[in-house]
Amino acid sequence: MELLMASAIGVMTAAGLYLVLRLRTFPVILGLALLTYAVNFFLFASGRLVVNAPPVLRDGVERYTDPLPQALVLTAIVISFGMTAVVVMMALGAYLSSRDDDVSLPPEDESPEGGA
C-alpha cells in the first residue's frame, strides 16, 4: 500500500515535471494536471494511510482515519480544477491571438506590437 502510493506520487510528479518543461502549451498543461493529481494524493497520504476506518466520531469504534486531509484535498481539487480551466482558456487565447502555441515570448523587436 505504502509502496504503491509513494511510487504513484513519484511517477506522476516526475512525468508532470517532464511535461511542464516542454515548450508547447498543450504538454505543459497536461503536466500541470499530472502534478496536481500527484499533490492531491500526497495531501491525502499526509494524514497517514488507514484503510476501512471511519473519519467521523462513532460509538464503539476505536480506529479512525484523519478527516482533515480529506477536506484539504477537496479544496485542493476544486482550486486546481478551476486553475486548469483558467490556464486552458488563457493558452487558447494566446494560441488564437499569436497563431502558435509556443510558451516562450518572441523577441521584442520582431513582435508586431513592439511590446512594452
Partner 1 sequence: MSHWIIVPVVLPAVLAAVLTLAMRHHIGLQRVFSLAGCVVLLAVALGLLVHAGSGAVEVYELGNWRAPFGIVLVLDRLAAVMVTLTAALALVVLLYAIGSGWDARGRNFHPLWQFQLMGICGAFLTGDAFNLFVFFEVLLIASYGLMIHAGGARRFKAGVQYVIYNLLGSTLFLFALGTLYAVTGTLNMADLAERAAQIPVDDSALLRVGAMLLFLVFAIKAALLPLHFWLPNTYAEAPAPVAALFAVMTKVGAYAILRFYTLVFGPDLDATAVLIDRFLLYGALLSLAVGMIGVLGARRLGRLAAFAAIGSMGTLLVAVAGFTEASSAAALYYAIHSTLAGALLFLVVDLVRERRGALAGALVPGPRLAQHGIVTALWFGAAIATAGMPPLSGFVGKLLILDATRDLADVWVIWAMILATSLVAIVGLSQAGSVVFWKTDREAEAEGPTPALPLVACFSLLGGVVALAVFAGPVMRYIEATAAQLHAPAAYIAAVLGQG
> Which residues sit at the interface with partner 1, rule CB under 8 A?
20, 25, 28, 32, 35-36, 38-39, 42-43, 45-48, 68-69, 72, 75-76, 79-80, 82-83, 86-87, 90-91, 93-94, 97-98, 103-106, 108, 111-116
Which residue carries 479544496 as its cell?
75
Q: How far is the CB of 23 from partner 1 (least distance, A)?
A: 11
Please tell me the distance from the alpha carbon of residue 53 to that of residue 81, in angstroms, as a whole number.
28
Q: Which is nearer to partner 1, 52 or 104 (CB)?
A: 104
Angle at which helices 25-45 and 68-98 pack, to 10 degrees? 180
Amino acid at 39: V
Which residue carries 484539504 as its cell?
72
Q: Which is nearer to partner 1, 8 or 39 (CB)?
A: 39
Q: How far is the CB of 21 from partner 1 (least distance, A)?
A: 11
Radius of gyration of the chain (CA): 20
